[in-house]
Structure formats: C-alpha cells, structure tokens
C-alpha cells in the first residue's frame, strides 16, 4: 500500500517496506536526483540515538569521485598484496562503478566505550532507515563492506578521523529490469524470541 507524502512522492507503508526490503545489487546507470538522496539522508538521521550524539557521517560519492574511490581500492589492494596483478587492481578500480551513487557511512567514537557502542548501533539504525527509505521510494540499494573497507587509506580519503568506525558503503540506483530478487529467508520467530510472563497476564 502506498500513500502520497508531503514531499510529493509516493511512499510505501512502513511495515510493507520493512517486510519487502531486499538488497538490489544490479542498478541502472542513470543517477538518482539529488533531492532523492537528500531525502534518504534526512530519513537516516531520524534514527534513535541515545544522548543525541549524532555520530553518523555520510560521504555521497558520484561521477568522477567514483573513479577516485576505485583508485583508492587499488592502492589498498597494492598495500595489502604487493604482488597483485594488474587484472586484480583493475577489478578493484571498477567496483565503485557498480552503481551511480555510493554513500559511505562512518561513525565517530564516543567519550567512553559505552557511548562508542551506542554510537555504532545508532549509526547502524541510520543505515537501516536509509535502506528502508530507498526501498519505499523505488530505489535499489545494497549495503557493502569487505576487507578493503576498514583500511586507514579509505578513512583518510573520506576525510574522517582515523579512529572512526567505517560502517559500510550503500550503493544506490534505480533497479535494473532484470535485477534478481535477493530477499533472504529468516529463521522462524519461535527460534529467536522468548516470551516471558505473557501467559500470566492473559
């Protein structure tokens, strides 16, 4: 079920978006509008955040910056694998071009281990908000990390503190017509949930 929002776009009911969201790894080359990306970011920062530290940071990457990121990927591979072949380096360089827009998400550390943990879970919730908003707006999104994502060279290129937590890349675009559905199964609720005191209150 969709509804017309104040922003002038059709959006899914929130429960429908949660239950039908899935990663979309194949998108069309045309770039989403800036206003659409801004809407996703506004949705992201509405995530619950204890102490209102707002630890999330976003870097929106598009156009020639995708090629710059690809070169960073190649540099990282060369650093961790000095004997990497040119073919392997080129594969790394091509990875950012899998989508016309990438949002890199990082999380600032807290003042103590507890606040750092809370900042991380808040930023993960922000990413989920972003993914749900993208799905509800008809965009395809894929949350990716990988070994290269945690190298200091990446944080340096993104311009965030070297002790920040990298939370992942969200690849974004309009779903390709032949994009395969990737919704993965989940365990039954009976296997992951306990009910305590429920029967007593009847």
How many domains does the chain contain in total?
1
Give a yes or no: residue 73 inside a domain: yes
pLDDT exceeds cutoff 90 at 18: no
* Cα(30)–Cα(155) distance, integer angstroms: 27
Confidence band (pLDDT; 50, 70, 90) for 11?
A: low
Round the CA-based radius of gyration of the chain to a whole number and report it: 19
Q: pLDDT tens-digit profile of 147-157?
A: 888 899 999 99
What pLDDT, on a 0 to 100 scale, did the predictor assign at position 2? 46
Give a yes or no: residue 146 inside a domain: yes
Confidence band (pLDDT; 50, 70, 90) for 182?
A: confident
Q: Write the CATH number for 65.
A: 3.40.109.10
> Mean pLDDT over all residues of the chain?
91
Q: pLDDT tens-digit profile of 50-108?
A: 999 999 999 999 999 999 999 999 999 999 999 999 999 999 999 999 999 999 999 99
Q: In the chain, what percentage of residues exceed pLDDT 70?
A: 93
Helices (H), the chain: 14-20, 34-44, 64-80, 86-94, 113-136, 152-158, 189-192, 198-201
Give a yes or no: residue 101 inside a domain: yes
What is this structure's pTM? Answer: 0.89
What pLDDT, on a 0 to 100 scale, did the predictor assign at position 7? 45
Domain holding 117, by residue range, is 39-176
Give a yes or no: residue 49 inside a domain: yes
CA distances from 104 to 30, 62, 159 (A): 19, 11, 11
Q: pLDDT tens-digit profile of 97-115?
A: 999 999 999 999 999 999 9
Exposure b/e, 131-159, CB count within 10 A at least 16 = b: bbbbbbbebbbbbeeeebbebebbbebbe
Give a yes or no: residue 89 inside a domain: yes
* Cα(165)–Cα(55) distance, integer angstroms: 10
Give a yes or no: residue 1 inside a domain: no
* Cα(200)–Cα(202) distance, integer angstroms: 5
Give a yes or no: residue 18 inside a domain: no
Give a yes or no: residue 31 inside a domain: no
């Amino acid at each position: 079920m969709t509804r017309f929002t104040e922003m002038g776009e059709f959006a899914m009911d929130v429960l429908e978006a949660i239950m039908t969201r899935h990663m979309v790894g194949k998108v069309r080359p045309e770039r989403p509008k800036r206003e659409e990306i801004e809407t996703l970011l506004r949705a992201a920062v509405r995530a619950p955040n204890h102490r209102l530290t707002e630890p999330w940071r976003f870097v929106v990457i598009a156009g020639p910056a995708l090629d710059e990121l690809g070169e960073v990927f190649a540099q990282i591979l060369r650093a961790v694998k000095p004997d990497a072949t040119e073919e392997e380096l080129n594969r790394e360089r091509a990875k950012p071009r899998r989508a016309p827009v990438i949002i890199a998400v990082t999380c600032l550390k807290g003042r103590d281990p507890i606040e750092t943990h809370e900042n991380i879970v808040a930023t993960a919730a922000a990413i989920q908000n972003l993914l749900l908003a993208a799905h509800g707006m008809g965009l395809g999104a894929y949350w990716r990390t990988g070994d290269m994502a945690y190298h200091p060279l990446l944080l340096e290129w993104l311009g965030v503190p070297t002790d920040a937590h990298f939370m992942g890349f969200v690849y974004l675009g309009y779903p390709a017509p032949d994009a395969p559905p990737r919704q993965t199964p989940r365990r039954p609720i009976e296997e992951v949930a306990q009910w305590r005191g429920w029967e007593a209150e009847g």
